[in-house]
Structures are given as C-alpha cells and as structure tokens.
C-alpha cells in the first residue's frame, strides 16, 4: 500500500520498509485464526498486510485521516477488519477491546513521540490483553528493562513492570524505516501477569509513590515523598523505618518490592 504524500513527522511516521524485520515482528506476535488483534498506527500497512492473513479479528486505529481512508477502502470486503480513524490516546479503548469475550494481541510500530503515553493507555486495559509486540525507541525499551539504581530505571520501568513480563526481542536499525529515524529502535514483547508482581494495596497510591519517588532525582527519598504529600510529614520517617527503607536513599535505588511495601503501608493511611 502506498501513499504519494510525504510522511508526517508530527505523527511519528517512520514506515517499516525492511521485509526481514516485518517477518520477525509477525513471527514474535504469533497470530492464529482465533486471535483478535489490535494494530495501533497501521500507516501504509507494512504489518497489516501480514496480520490480515492470519488474524480472526483485526482492528486498526490510525490517526492520519488520509491513510485511514486508504485502509478502509482496501479492506472494505474483509468483514473481520475494522478501521478506526481516531487518536489512540483518546479513543474508547475499553469499549473496543470489550467487543469480544477473548483477549487481544496488540501489534504496533508505535509513533515514537507518544509511545510512553500509549504504554500507559495499554496498561489501563491490561486485563483485556493476551500479548503485545511493540516497536519502541531503543531508549524507551532500555528504560523498561532497567534494573534499580541504573540511570534508565524510572517510572515506566516500575509501573509497567508491576503488570507485565517484558522481553526485548531484537534491535532495529534506522535503515529499516522510511524516513530513517535518528535513533535505534527495539521490538519488545509484553505478557500481562494474572496478578501484580507484588501486592501494592491501592494502585492509585502505588502510582503516587512511584511518581513521587522519581520526581526529583537529586533529592532524597524522604524529601521526594514529603513533596508527594501522601501522609503528614511527621508520620513519614516512621513509615519508612517500618518498611526498613532508609529515607536518605534516592528513589531510583528502590526495588519493585520496596515500592510495593511503601504503597501497602501508605494505602492504610490514605483510606
């Protein structure tokens, strides 16, 4: 499928043009005739052409109206394909994935400018997902796979890591796209866990603890959590010591288990 219009930088349009990489992504997604598949940003259809041959149900969400129109026309006679001309960040994802009782596979070469926001949207609907195979900027992939106390370790590592097993499948070089992006990319697979990796109490509290702990990387944990205003400051040191966590540490040194312990403890006080 081609479009004569120049790719739009504003929509992160770096189209895949390397057949070997396309095959590897399709292989990693492991789509069968019973699978419901959501493709985010199908663009000119590099991956879609393969997905349409194997998926039982295929939903395509594309924000470029011209490309969405081409896809609609192209797949007009395929009853299993639905093209939605919409923004993945605002579309009713719960409604779309609630269409069937089964779980969905998500496949995407994501627009890099919004990839982290898309990951958080997908996190919200994790209960409807069976597997995701996503192309991301390599740097974003590195963050997801980072260990505590590394510069890449951050909010996305912990919030996504609570609910997904993530694995880097392979690296993709800029020459595999048109136009070439400035940086390397990585394809990652995500498998949702049936239960969170650690019990966290109230998940809203967990998000506040994690975001607060990373908000000021140069400050100590106790100062970050003071600014997050989860509990009165006079209670903070006692809670940290109950959880055996030194408040003088930096937030980025905490493990998932330590964030979870803090969250469980704060959840009691914020009820």
Binding site for ligand SAM (CB under 6 A): 11-16, 40-44, 46-47, 61-64, 67, 87-89, 109, 111, 114
Q: At what angle do helices 256-269 and 155-163 cross, to 10 degrees?
A: 80
Identity of the residue, 111 or 251, whose beta carbon is nearer to ligand SAM in the bound complex: 111
Q: How far is the CB of 73 from ligand SAM (least distance, A)?
A: 16
Q: How far is the CB of 249 from ligand SAM (least distance, A)?
A: 38
Q: How far is the CB of 244 from ligand SAM (least distance, A)?
A: 43
Q: In this structure, what DSSP letter does residue 72 have?
A: H
Q: In this structure, what DSSP letter does residue 146 have?
A: P
Identity of the residue, 120 or 247, whose beta carbon is nearer to ligand SAM in the bound complex: 120
Identity of the residue, 41 or 201, whose beta carbon is nearer to ligand SAM in the bound complex: 41
- Helix (H) or strand (E) holding 170, with range, is strand 164-172
Q: How far is the CB of 48 from ligand SAM (least distance, A)?
A: 7
Give the Cα separation of 240 and 222 in Å (integer): 8
Single out the residue of 158, 163, 167, 168 nearest to residue 192, CA to CA.
Answer: 163
Q: What share of the chain is helix, strand, coil (3-state, %, to 5)?
A: 45, 20, 35
Identity of the residue, 47 or 106, whose beta carbon is nearer to ligand SAM in the bound complex: 47
Give the Cα separation of 21 and 173 in Å (integer): 10
179: preceding bond cis by omega (within 30 degrees): yes
Q: By beta-carbon distance, which residue lies closest to ligand SAM?
A: 41
Identity of the residue, 11 or 243, whose beta carbon is nearer to ligand SAM in the bound complex: 11
Q: How far is the CB of 1 from ligand SAM (least distance, A)?
A: 10
């Amino acid at each position: 499928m081609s479009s004569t219009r120049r790719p739009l930088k504003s929509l992160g349009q770096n189209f895949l043009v390397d057949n070997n990489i396309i095959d590897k992504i399709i292989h990693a997604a492991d789509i069968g005739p019973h699978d419901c598949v959501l493709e985010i940003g199908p663009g000119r259809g590099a991956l879609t052409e393969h997905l349409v041959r194997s998926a039982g149900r295929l939903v395509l969400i594309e924000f470029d109206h011209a490309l969405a129109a081409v896809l609609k026309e192209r797949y007009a006679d395929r009853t299993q394909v639905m093209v939605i001309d919409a923004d993945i960040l605002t579309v009713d994802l719960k409604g779309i994935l609630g269409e069937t009782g089964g779980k969905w596979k998500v496949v995407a070469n994501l627009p890099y400018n919004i990839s982290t926001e898309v990951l958080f949207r997908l996190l919200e609907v994790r209960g409807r997902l069976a597997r995701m195979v996503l192309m991301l900027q390599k740097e974003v992939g590195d963050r997801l796979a980072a260990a505590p106390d590394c510069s890449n370790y951050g909010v996305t590592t912990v919030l996504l890591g609570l609910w997904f097993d993530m694995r880097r499948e392979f690296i993709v070089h800029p020459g595999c796209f048109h136009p070439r992006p400035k940086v390397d990319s990585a394809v990652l697979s995500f498998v949702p866990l049936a239960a969170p990796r650690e019990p966290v109490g109230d998940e809203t509290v967990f998000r506040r603890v994690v975001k607060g702990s990373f908000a000021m990387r140069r400050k100590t944990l106790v100062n970050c959590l003071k600014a997050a205003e989860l509990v009165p400051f006079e209670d903070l040191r006692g809670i940290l010591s109950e959880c055996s966590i030194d408040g003088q540490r930096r937030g980025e040194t905490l493990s998932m288990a330590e964030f979870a312990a803090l969250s469980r403890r704060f959840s009691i006080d914020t009820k």
